[in-house]
Amino acid sequence: MLIITSTIQIPDWELLFSFARSSGAGGQNVNKVNSKAILHWNPMASPSLPVEVKNRFMQKFGRRLSGEGFLVLQSDSHRDQPRNSADCLDKLRAMILEVAVAPKIRKATKPSRSAKRKRLDSKKRHSEKKQNRRRLD
């Protein structure tokens, strides 16, 4: 069970892991051990995500989905399968946490009368300072 928040939890049966040979450093170990973890998850078919979180997820990460609608995450930064699998789960958790909370809607406000006055006074003082530097005719 992947626990994102207290209300969002993804059961293991939704997550499909596969493993492949990793590239990079590791000597002969990389030629014989499938340590790269590849995580496949279908966010649209997931009953674990609330609808509004699904919509925000699709809006932000929709271009990362495959043609079949699967999100594919992979990790080969470690030399063993369990740590790479945990790394994939951490990546998924971070992605879902980004869209879990709805962004605040900005309310348009106007500057107060005193704020306008302070701004204009500041501009006037700056202008006078520049004028005092000019040469007198």
> What integer pLDDT is reported at residue 27 of this predicted model?
67
At residue 30, the pLDDT reads 66
Q: What is the DSSP string of 72-136?
A: EEEE-SSSSHHHHHHHHHHHHHHHHHHHHSPPPPPPP----HHHHHHHHHHHHHHHHHHHHTSPP
Q: Please write down the long-range contacts of 69-72, taking CB distance under 8 Å and 24 or more positions apart.
A: 69/42, 69/43, 69/44, 69/45, 70/40, 70/41, 70/42, 71/39, 71/40, 71/41, 71/42, 71/43, 71/95, 72/38, 72/39, 72/40
Amino acid at 86: A
Tell me what pLDDT residue 48 has.
Answer: 86
Kindly report the pTM of this predicted structure.
Answer: 0.70
Q: What pLDDT was estimated at residue 117?
A: 97
Tokens 């306008």 correspond to what residue? 116
Q: What does the alpha-carbon distance between residue 11 and residue 18 come to, in Å, rounded to a whole number?
A: 17
Say how far apart CA 115 and CA 3 lie, in whole Å: 47
Adjacent-strand bridge partners of 3: 9
Please list the rounded mean pLDDT of every run of 10 residues in the chain (137 residues).
82 88 70 84 87 89 87 86 91 90 90 96 95 83
Please report the domains of the chain, with CATH numbers, ordered by start residue: 2-100 (3.30.160.20)
Say what the pLDDT of residue 4 is. 81
At 77 the pLDDT is 83
Q: What is the pLDDT of residue 45?
A: 86
DSSP 22: P
In this prediction, residue 87 carries a pLDDT of 92
